Structure 1
């Protein structure tokens, strides 16, 4: 199967691995990008974007990146912090007074970014269409109590991450999260990544290939467990990600549409010390806040040890392809991944449509990361 794009000679083993996975069928359609300094040293794509029609994966194909979206939402909040419009150590209620109800008056912005706020899901049984109505979904969260003492360890905010922080962005700027992200980050950096899409032809979007099996037997999980209350309220099938209503919604935790090139470009804002192509956007002081550890232990929802900084995860055993150091990362359901490595001025992104069952720690992204870092090591 043909691999398109560019790859400098030092990273040819990465291209070979990508080509082999497309040829073997481990990938259906995918893209992979690496930014070193200001240079896009790997920009590869190939395969099939839509299996039923046979439509090929093109240079500008976009795919749903699931929870990788959270890193983009975090960048929006960090940008506001850098401008002095949001204090990461302040209560959320400073910007959103209604959120201070039901014992949440002291929940901090950084605790939402670090998944420790206790507001990991909705008390009410909700549907995906309920989350499409951002203000109504946010109002429900504002009225409920936290599920554990805020700051006392993490419980992955599967969908509430985007609703909570999106409402902070809206209260501070008067703009929706998707619009603010487009105007202040994606647009200026030339990154084709969207949180909320209403103006594109359906042919631009890849359809997902659902995992052949689930990572866990969710049917055996008690109705009152945190796992069921976060992962399954609501649950949605991969087939919905090309639905116009889903695309148009601004779900800052789960429906960012992009490709590896755009994700790596945005991540290079972090890996490059706050600037891309000489354009400064974030100060070093703000970037260092990403590495303030908010939780380090077994996550209540994911069930695996995760070290969370501000909006990004930090190196740990759950993702062995991510090296130690001043490196931050996160992944999306199915395997998409982004890494921003400040020590090496390196950004890596992988986006695909054939999904692995794991919520975190899938094999394919770890293999690509291992190949990238092997090439980096040889070049030193």
Structure 2
């Protein structure tokens, strides 16, 4: 076998977790990965911390212990944690109208949209109706203003539409109106700093040299057939056009530096696994508590479930977190929550097993059904945790 970067796996898998390392290596040899990391925290202890491959193949920069990468919609899990902080502090009520906190949001018949609709992809504002460029979309305040003036596409609360980017702008503005801080700053100060996480919504400039460069796989970013004929599909998936431009937005400094809370988070697998490891233990890790158990339980209570019209798959949501469905995104365990990201990353928790995990990759691939890279890792991990 040729001794290439893809064959060099670094880090560790604790005794009893060797099968996870085997699957991580197989992702490079058999499933198309070029650069990735995987970490798992079980009952407060890091049991897997692996990385390998290229952070940037064009410059021959290796993926190192401190490499960080874009996690796309995995960012929504960070936003969900911030929403739960406000709920726990008595500042946010799921059953109040959004306009009670954000008066301008009542425009165009949206006065009856409740917070529970907004945080569970039921506000029926899944895309921006006003055309915007990638650069314009880095202005989160303006994006929120556009959404506040927009009409819902259906009666809110009646249909689950995945709010790919608008979830972040809507929830981010709600957080700003209540707390006064942006969601990126709230996350940095009240979550990332206490838990010592290498994770950001809005990347500081000094962290740029650590970021892995994203690269498209053969089919990633292929244009959807409905974008020319369906205005809603266009508004969700191609406004702004973020999958097909070169460079990809998440490879640009301007996009990384901005707060695009629906999809521009940057993190290490170690950091995301640590966050979900904390949440899996009822909100406490190494003596640091960020949330109470009952708040996390509320956050994982299903608010919306259904087959999403534009993804044609069953989805379920609590307060921002994706929940386990028959699709078994979070592995072969009955209870799981977290969020996946475009191109393959996946981050989440198994509360019954007190386990948090994160798979981060810079190799953006499309698969029919679930990504076998994360799927194989979670299958091995769950078997190891349960001693099978």
- Calculate the TM-score normalised by the size of structure 1: 0.95
The 8 Å contact of residues 8 and 53 in structure 2, kept in 1 or not, is answered as yes
Q: Does 1:244 align with 2:253?
A: yes
| Residue pairs, 1:1-380, within 5 angstroms | 1-24=7-30, 26-214=32-220, 218-237=224-243, 239-358=248-367, 361-378=370-387
Distance in 2 of aligned mates of 1:338 and 1:86: 25
Provide the alpha-carbon RMSD of the alignment.
1.8
Q: Measure how far apart 1:303 and its partner are.
A: 1.9
Residue 340 of structure 1: SS of its match in structure 2?
A: strand
The 8 Å contact of residues 3 and 47 in structure 1, kept in 2 or not, is answered as yes
Q: Check 1:360–1:155 CA distance in 2 against 1; reply closer, same or farther (3 A cut).
A: farther
Residue 316 of structure 2: SS of its match in structure 1?
A: strand
Segments ≥4 residues shifted beyond 4 Å: 214-217
Q: Measure how far apart 1:33 and its partner are.
A: 0.5
Point out the more displaced range, 322-331 or 263-272.
322-331
Q: Measure how far apart 1:333 and its partner are.
A: 0.3
* CA displacement, residues 255-301 of structure 1 (integer Å, 9 cap, x when unaligned): 00001100011112220111111222212221111232222221123
Distance in 2 of aligned mates of 1:360 and 1:232: 22
Distance in 2 of aligned mates of 1:360 and 1:235: 24
Residue 246 of structure 1: SS of its match in structure 2?
A: helix
Q: Measure how far apart 1:89 and its partner are.
A: 2.0
Report what 2:3 is aligned to. none
Q: Measure how far apart 1:360 and its partner are.
A: 7.1
Distance in 2 of aligned mates of 1:79 and 1:277: 19
Q: Measure how far apart 1:224 and its partner are.
A: 3.0
Q: Measure how far apart 1:16 and its partner are.
A: 1.3
Point out the more displaced range, 62-71 or 198-207.
198-207
Q: Measure how far apart 1:359 and its partner are.
A: 9.6
The 8 Å contact of residues 333 and 360 in structure 1, kept in 2 or not, is answered as no
Residue 254 of structure 1: SS of its match in structure 2?
A: coil
Q: Measure how far apart 1:304 and its partner are.
A: 1.0
The 8 Å contact of residues 215 and 358 in structure 1, kept in 2 or not, is answered as no
Q: Measure how far apart 1:153 and its partner are.
A: 2.3
Distance in 2 of aligned mates of 1:254 and 1:360: 21
* CA displacement, residues 64-91 of structure 1 (integer Å, 9 cap, x when unaligned): 0000100101111111111111112221
Q: Measure how far apart 1:220 and its partner are.
A: 4.3
Number of aligned residue pairs: 379
Distance in 1 of aligned mates of 2:368 and 2:319: 19
Residue 162 of structure 1: SS of its match in structure 2?
A: helix
- Calculate the TM-score normalised by the size of structure 2: 0.93
Which 5+ residue runs of structure 2 have no aligned equivalent?
1-6
